Amino acid sequence: MKKLYTILFTLILFSCQETTKTVETIEATKILSPTAAAIKYYKDTFQWQNGFESWSKVPTTDDYHMLAPNLGLEAKGAEQIEEVIFGFVKETELQQELVDIVEHGNYITCFLKITTKTGETMNVVEVFLVDEEGKVKNIWAL
């Protein structure tokens, strides 16, 4: 029994010793789907003067829907999106800064800082629902 206690004591003693090894943190790389990558590129290069033209490179369904309840904006389909949403973007000379983009299943979330021509700034979250073909089906700007 004394041998067992000696062995256990030795194991505990050595397992509690401080180590001189340093801990390395490994930063995770984000691998985005082609649709999320297209949205990221659009957000990173966004200019209000040619907003819809740049946006049109992102794959969407024919009847995709966008809702921005805090701004009172809603549109369905490319024609309405260009008229309503990008009309607002041009009117306010909206600037966007992409803070982060996260992809989780069929959802892509963008965290943005937006600024209007009057200097008003807001933190905004945009959530994109993507269908099984990788096309944007719904967008919520919150």
71 and 88 Cβ atoms separated by less than 8 Å: yes
With vertex at residue 96, the alpha carbon angle to CA 95 and CA 101, rounded to the nearest 5 degrees, is: 175
- Per residue in 92-121, pLDDT tens? 999 999 999 999 999 999 999 999 999 999
- Per residue in 18-76, pLDDT tens? 555 554 544 545 789 999 999 999 999 999 898 899 999 999 999 999 999 999 999 99
68 and 81 Cβ atoms separated by less than 8 Å: no
- Predicted pLDDT of residue 8: 47
With a threshold of 0.95, does the pTM exceed it? no
Strand pairing partners for 107?
104, 129
Residue 7 has pLDDT above 70, yes or no: no
